[in-house]
Amino acid sequence: MARCARKKSASGIYHIMLRGINQQDIFLDDEDYCRFLEIMKRVKESRSCVIYGYCLMGNHVHLLLREEDEGLSVIMKRIGTSYAWWYNQKYDRVGHVFQNRFQSETIETEAYLLGVLRYIHNKPVKANLVVIPEEYKWSSCQVYYGGKDSFELLYTSFILDILSSNRETAIKQFADFMQKPNTDQFMDVPVKQRKSDEELAQEVKELLNGQPIGILQSLDIEQRNKIIKQIKGIVGVTQRQIARVTGIHQSIIFKV
């Protein structure tokens, strides 16, 4: 089946979503998040794009950027290919890391731009990872609130200037806007409701017919992997969490 042509933005600004293949996690530890942001920095510094915002979730990424010297497809190929190569090397795996093509939607108005940024900044709140958006470590929200841009990624002035020419006033108005109740819906993946470690531990024990979780490590590989596959199919858990609860190394969980 032929692919649909990607809609071209007159403004050059896009909201982009990149997700892990089969909804798998693409960030398993802080090093993974940092590497993705470092790759984005290299691409930005080559004058490929201007980055207005981002939010890195466990199994997908939201980006808000404007094309510069390169087209969107080239930009995203550079980011995706670089990260996938590094990720596969780190976790000793082969194959795709991301699900098919990235998704994108065009942004042609200031109102839509602000709405999308608020939406992606609030993703961690909706996923019950934080209480307020600026607490989330892997989004651009805290930088807009005056925090340090450790990876030197963002051009915040473009959006803050929409709100006020006075920087202090703009930051306050931005914070007010981020917290304003809304029912906006944009391009997204369903929010995966997180289970607690205690809830996961209980479900694992049920899979083991009431036996202690530690028995997993003494099973033969075939039996162990069969149980791990079942655990990975539980909605609302991450591979990092599975490793923490079972005591089985994260790299093993990932490969099964």
CATH number at residue 150: 3.30.70.1290
- And the tokens for 244? 């923490």
3: in domain: no
Q: How many domains does the chain have?
A: 2
CA–CA dist 36, 240 (Å, integer): 18
187: in domain: no
Output the pLDDT for position 231.
85
What is the gyration radius of the CA atoms in the chain, in angstroms? 20
8 A C-beta contact, residue 200 and residue 242: yes
8 A C-beta contact, residue 159 and residue 65: no
CA 190 vs. chain centroid, Å, equals 13
**Which domain, by its residues, includes 213?**
197-255
Look-up of token digits 């795996």:
93
Non-local (6+) Cβ contacts of 236 within 8 A are 192, 193, 194, 195
Residue type, 217: Q
Pairing label, strands 103-107, 60-67: unpaired
Other C-beta atoms lying within 10 Å of the C-beta of residue 49: 27
Output the pLDDT for position 45.
92
- And the tokens for 23? 């909804």
Look-up of token digits 């930009």:
75
Output the pLDDT for position 16.
95
Residues 167 and 230 in one domain: no
7: in domain: no
Output the pLDDT for position 36.
97
Kindly state the DSSP code that residue 217 receives in the 8-state scheme: G
8 A C-beta contact, residue 217 and residue 249: no
Residues 27 and 142 in one domain: yes
189: in domain: no
Output the pLDDT for position 1.
41
Which residues of the chain have a pLDDT value below 70?
1-5, 187-194, 235
Residues 170 and 81 in one domain: yes
